[in-house]
Amino acid sequence: MVATGERVLRVGMVCPYSLSVPGGVQAQVMGLARELRRMGIEVRVLGPCDGPPPATFVTPLGNSLPTSANGSVAPVAPDPSCVLRTMRVMYEEQFDVLHLHEPFAPGPPMTAILLHPAPVVGTFHAAGESASYRHLKNYIKPAAANLAHRVAVSKDAAALVSAYIPGDYEILFNGVELDDYRHAQPHPTTGPTIFFCGRHEERQGLDVLLAAMADVGPIGGKDVTLWIASNGPDTDRLRSQFGGDARIEWLGRLSDEDKIARLKGADVFCAPSLHGESFGVVLIEAMAAGTCIVASALDGYRNVATDDIDALLVAPGDKHALAKAIEVALGDRALAERLVAAGAVRADEFSMTTLACRYAEIYREVAQPQEPGHRSVSAWPFMSRSARSWLAPKPRRRRLGRMLTE
């Protein structure tokens, strides 16, 4: 909490991806913002929205444009109108700190790191390979000098960005709002149940899980049910290919509440990803929900889980090994209970509250409190006269706004 008499920090937290679309980075941004606000820090989340903002503390910056990235499709907003909205919000809000998630992503983060009217904290999420870093490193290196503090969510994420932009990166694992999962009511089941929740695309490995279901037989005399949440570019193909299996339920996109209820109700959470995972936050969520985990043995997932300690990990892409691990997790109750108990202890290490406390310390370290009004438009030398004019307050517009509300 903010100490009595201590100045309240104003933080602009910038997300590159549409906050209307489910995703790991978006979930981290919103969860961290909620926790920081509970601590008394005034956080506003800035980012694209393809619908109503998901919370009152979100400032929408425009619609997203789906863009191929890292084997997935990222809902980013690199258009000029979003750039201008980002500039104007940064001017009007006069934040003490800007916290950019994926600082070099096109759209609001790149705009903010280039203009930076406040000290900048950058958090890097991506791991694996990045064509953007490879092709644009000579352009983004100068902008990296604007980062007052650099954070990576895992050693793999730090390895990716530091290969192109050397520097010191603090490792802060992603956090989970543990109570949301521990206190949730489980969705009812009629027998042994597996839950998959991820975008329907190649790197998430849903093809492998669906193929593995052919090898999964009844457990305790009951057929196994597979819940598949979300959607993606492969949804229609997969539903056509595997739609004849009555054990599979296609749930579509779920609300956060429904997702947590399904996760808590399932016997096994399966994460069969093939690559591109920098950190296994979904595994922490399953641990907090008390659900046994079967996942791929990716480096990103091994940041969180250990095989035969708090999860069963198998070689990525091996459908037969995946099917066997699922049957073991569903059929060996003593093993499942041991893994779940260890997972509950492991989840405590990734509390969103702990993560928010560290970020609050970082904000106070880099913030440079000054007199009100210190970040006027005229202090931004990079702006053209027309841009400054566009950003400057518009008295007549304000009068019109009052007239319309009277």
Q: Is residue 404 part of a domain?
A: no
Average pLDDT on 172-193 reads: 95
Structural element, H or E, at residue 47:
strand 42-47
Q: Is residue 364 part of a domain?
A: yes
DSSP 3-state percent helix, strand, coil across the chain (nearest 5): 45, 20, 40
Residue 157 sits in the same domain as residue 263: no
Residue 378 has pLDDT above 60, yes or no: no
Residue 157 has pLDDT above 60, yes or no: yes
Of 233, 146, 225, 138, the residue nearest 187 (C-alpha): 225
Residue 344 sits in the same domain as residue 356: no
Q: What is the pLDDT of residue 404?
A: 40
Query: What CA–CA distances, in Å, run from 117 to 33, 41, 94, 96, 379?
Result: 20, 19, 8, 9, 9
Residue 66 sits in the same domain as residue 126: yes
Average pLDDT on 71-88 reads: 85
Cα gap 196→236, rounded to integer Å: 17
**HEC states along 355-375?**
HHHHHHHHHHHHCCCCCCCCC
Query: Of the given ranges (56-70, 103-117, 195-209, 341-355), which has the lowest mean pLDDT?
Result: 56-70
Residue 399 has pLDDT above 60, yes or no: no
- Percentage of the chain beyond pLDDT 70 is 87
Residue 43 has pLDDT above 80, yes or no: yes
Residue 20 sits in the same domain as residue 157: yes
Residue 197 sits in the same domain as residue 114: no
Residue 335 has pLDDT above 50, yes or no: yes
What pLDDT, in 10s, does the model give residues 228-261? 999 999 999 999 999 899 999 999 999 989 999 9
Which residue is associated with the tokens 């191929």? 68
Query: Of the given ranges (23-32, 139-148, 304-313, 395-404), which has the lowest mean pLDDT?
Result: 395-404
Cα gap 43→33, rounded to integer Å: 6
Residue 36 has pLDDT above 90, yes or no: yes
Residue 376 has pLDDT above 90, yes or no: no
Q: Is residue 393 part of a domain?
A: no
Give the pLDDT band of residue 401 (cuts 50, 70, 90): very low
Cα gap 272→296, rounded to integer Å: 5
Average pLDDT on 71-75 reads: 69
Of 344, 309, 299, 356, the residue nearest 28 (C-alpha): 356
Q: Is residue 163 part of a domain?
A: yes
Q: 144: which DSSP letter?
A: H
Residue 342 sits in the same domain as residue 219: yes
pTM, rounded to two decimals: 0.77
Which residue is associated with the tokens 């149940």? 193
Q: Is residue 246 part of a domain?
A: yes
User: Which domain CATH number covers 16?
Assistant: 3.40.50.2000
| Tokens standing for residue 238 | 């997969």
Q: Is residue 139 part of a domain?
A: yes
What pLDDT, in 10s, does the model give residues 96-154? 999 999 999 889 999 999 998 999 999 999 887 777 777 777 778 889 999 999 999 99
Q: What is the pLDDT of residue 128?
A: 77
Residue 14 sits in the same domain as residue 159: yes
Residue 377, helix vs strand vs coil: helix
Q: What average pLDDT does the structure give for the chain?
A: 88
Structural domain containing residue 365:
10-175+352-375
Residue 277 sits in the same domain as residue 315: yes
Q: What is the pLDDT of residue 287?
A: 98
Residue 44, helix vs strand vs coil: strand
| Tokens standing for residue 295 | 């996942």
Q: Is residue 60 part of a domain?
A: yes
Residue 228 sits in the same domain as residue 301: yes
Residue 268 sits in the same domain as residue 343: yes
Residue 190 sits in the same domain as residue 255: yes
Give the pLDDT band of residue 76 (cuts 50, 70, 90): confident
Domain count, the chain: 2
What pLDDT, in 10s, does the model give residues 83-99? 999 999 998 999 999 99
Q: Is residue 283 part of a domain?
A: yes
Query: Of the given ranges (11-15, 58-62, 366-370), which has the lowest mean pLDDT?
Result: 366-370
Q: What is the pLDDT of residue 379?
A: 44
The residues facing 196 across adjacent strands are 228
For residues 378 and 1, the model is more confident at: 1
Cα gap 77→16, rounded to integer Å: 7
Q: What is the pLDDT of residue 298?
A: 94
Q: Which amino acid is at 296?
A: S
Q: What is the pLDDT of residue 382?
A: 46
Residue 251 sits in the same domain as residue 296: yes
